[in-house]
Each structure stands twice: as C-alpha cells, then as structure tokens.
Structure 1
Amino acid sequence: MKCIVGLGNPGKKYKHTRHNVGFMVIDELLRRHQWDLNKSKFKGDYTIATLHGEKVMLIEPQTFMNLSGDAVRPLMEYYNIDIADVLIVFDDLDLSPGRIRLRQKGGHGGHNGIRSIIDHLGTKEFKRIRIGVGRPTASTISIVNYVLSDFSKGEADDVSDSIKRAADACEAWLQAPFPEVMNEYNQ
C-alpha cells in the first residue's frame, strides 16, 4: 500500500492558511474521488482506497504541524507501510506561490513538520512534494505569522493550480516510478 501524507494544522482556524497546503492536496484528492477521511487512529485522520489498481492511504495528521511524526510513524507501523511507499506533501517558503517541487529525499530545510517526521522515522529518505507559499515581503511579518496566514487574493489562482498539479503528481505516482513523476512535474 502507498501512503500520501498532507501536512497541516487541524481546525477551521487554519483551514486556508499557507501551512495547510498539504491538507489542501489531500482534500483535492478526496474531492476528485468522492472519498472521505473516514478513519481516525494514532492522532491521524485517514482513508484507505484503491486508485489506478493501487491501494493508497491518504493521511492528515491531527497533531499540529510540529508533531506530524507522532501520527505518521504509528500509522506506517500499524499498516506495515515501507518508507519507499510514503509521499509527504507540505508547504515551502523557498518556492513562490504556484510552484511545486518533487524530491526523493532531503533535509528538513527548517520545516518543523518535516523535522518531526525525520526524527520519528530516523531517515531523510522519503519522497516529498513541496508546494510554494513564498516568503513574507514585509520584514515586520514573522515567519510563524506568515505561514499561519491566508493566501492573498493575488496568490489564490496560482495556489489553486499548484494544489491541483500536486494532486495530479500524487495520482501519477500510483502508476509510475517516482523519478518519472519528478521528470514530468518538476518542469
């Protein structure tokens, strides 16, 4: 079984914030296929479905971003999911809104959700889709306040497109090796 994890913060307060683009990708996949996150275990809401002949688990950790690994590792262990079959989707300050970047491995880059997952899994060797949220343009805005803020109206279309492209890349990974998916979506 493959596992796609969207990172974000639980609760209506954070639903449309920059930090929640990982949840937004999971929500897009759920919408497309008329699925629901109908299970809850180990601090994560999830569903298990079949798409393109591949069994897939979609997860939204309910731990808040900085503790994402608290939900991901127990679910992986419970369902015996190999690290090679995990894809993490999250926000990235170093990419402008509308851009996505796929990688097979890497560090946390200052992202506390990824840091938590690396700490819990004991490896940096997991697939990821980074979704651009840009950096604050005003020096008076802290990074924390920025990622917990909503996108501007000017960013909305670009972000919506990147969420759809990231969901497309997730689906493509169910049918093709990840390096091929990277070649297609990192253009």
Structure 2
Amino acid sequence: MKLIVGLGNPGKEYEHTRHNAGFDVLDELARLCQTSIDQKKFNALIAQVRIGSEQVILMKPQTFMNNSGEAVIQAVNFYKIETKDILVVHDDLDLPIGKLRIRTQGSSGGQKGMQSIMNHLHTQDILRIRVGIDKNPLIPIVDYVLGKIPKESKADFDDSVKKAADAAYMSINHDFSEVMNRYNKA
C-alpha cells in the first residue's frame, strides 16, 4: 500500500489558492484515476485506487496545513505504511510558478505542513513533489500563499499541476530516480 498526500487547507475560501497547490495536484491525480477524493477518514478526504499492481491511498488532510501530520500518521498507523511508500505534494515559495522540484528527502524548507508530517513520522526521508508558487517581497507571506494565482501565471501553474500529477502517478510503478530525472528537467 502506498500513500500520496496533497497539502492544502480545507474550505471554499482556500480553494485554488497558492497554498493549496497540493490539493490541486491530488484532484488532477484523482481525475487521472477516474475517481473522487471524497471519503472522510483520518481527519482527511481520501480515495483508494489501484495504479498498476499497487493499492494507493490519495489523501487531502482536512486538519489545516500546519497540522497535516496528524492525518498522515493516522493513515500510516492504520494501514502500516512504510515511510518509503509515502509521497507528499506541496507548494514551494522558493520555486517559480510552473517549476517542479522532486526529492527523496530534505528539510521542510519552511513549509509547515511538510514539517508537521516530518515531526509525526520522525524523519526527513520522505518523497516529495514541490510545486512552485513563487513569492512577492511586497506581499506578506501569509497573504501571498492564501491568494489566488494571477491570470497571467495561471497557464504555467496549471501545467505544473498536471506535470506533478503525472509524476505522482509515475512514481507508483517506477523507480523514484526515474521520476526525478524526467520531471526535474521539465
């Protein structure tokens, strides 16, 4: 069993904000799998799908970003999922819009949802796909991440969401180094 987690904040007011890039990617991944992420379990919305020969849980924690680890640890404990079988998708202020960065480990880079997951799992060795949202030094970070992608950047952002969903899908049945080689260049 594998777990793919998209980070974001629940509620209509946060839909399609920069900080919900992980939710957007999971919605695109669910579309690829011809399902909806709508089952309530583990303080999250989940869907169970089969990708190739693997059973996969798609998860959108509903705990708010900073407490994402609370939902993840519940699923990990219930299904006995190994850390190597977890992939987290989240926004990244340090990457330009349209850019992905795929890694096997590392710090949270200040992303509080990722930090919460690392704290609950007691490791930095977590597969991740970071989706660039850029930053604006003139706008306070909280206001920026909770804002919408501007129209002039929407096509690049949507393209990165599709690529991230494709990368997550590919990660289920391919070596993660292949995924990194393919999508880190994109």
For the criterion TM > 0.5, the same-fold answer is yes
Q: After the TM superposition, which parts of structure 1 deviate over 2 Å for at least 4 consecutive aligned residues? A: none
1:32-66 deviations in Å (ceiling 9; x for gaps): 22202242222111011101222111000000000
Paired residue for 1:9?
Answer: 9
Paired with 1:72 and 1:120, the residues of 2 have a C-alpha distance of 8
Paired residue for 1:171?
Answer: 169
Which range moved further: 30-39 or 112-121? 30-39
Paired with 2:168 and 2:115, the residues of 1 have a C-alpha distance of 22
RMSD over aligned Cα, in angstroms?
0.9
Paired residue for 1:71?
Answer: 71
Paired with 2:172 and 2:123, the residues of 1 have a C-alpha distance of 22
Paired with 1:164 and 1:88, the residues of 2 have a C-alpha distance of 15
Paired residue for 1:184?
Answer: 182
1:50-86 deviations in Å (ceiling 9; x for gaps): 0122211100000000000010011111011110000
Paired residue for 2:21?
Answer: 21
Which of these residues, 126, 151, 165, is aligned with residue 153 of structure 1? 151
CA contact (8 A) 2:27 2:37 kept: no
What is the 5 A alignment of 1:73-152? 73-137=73-137, 139=138, 141-152=139-150
1:115-142 deviations in Å (ceiling 9; x for gaps): 11111111111000000000115x2x10
Structure 1 residue 152: Cα displacement: 0.1
Paired with 2:53 and 2:74, the residues of 1 have a C-alpha distance of 25
Paired residue for 2:51?
Answer: 51
Q: Aligned partner of 2:175: which letter?
A: P
Paired with 1:97 and 1:48, the residues of 2 have a C-alpha distance of 30
Secondary structure class of the residue paired with 1:5: strand
Paired with 2:14 and 2:153, the residues of 1 have a C-alpha distance of 17
Q: Aligned partner of 1:180: which letter?
A: E
Gaps of 5+ in 1: none
Number of matched residues? 185
1:120-176 deviations in Å (ceiling 9; x for gaps): 111111000000000115x2x100000000000011000000000001101111121
Secondary structure class of the residue paired with 2:173: coil
Paired with 2:177 and 2:140, the residues of 1 have a C-alpha distance of 35
Q: Aligned partner of 2:178: which letter?
A: E
TM-score (norm 1): 0.96
CA contact (8 A) 2:88 2:128 kept: yes
Which range moved further: 111-120 or 85-94? 111-120
TM-score (norm 2): 0.97
Gaps of 5+ in 2: none
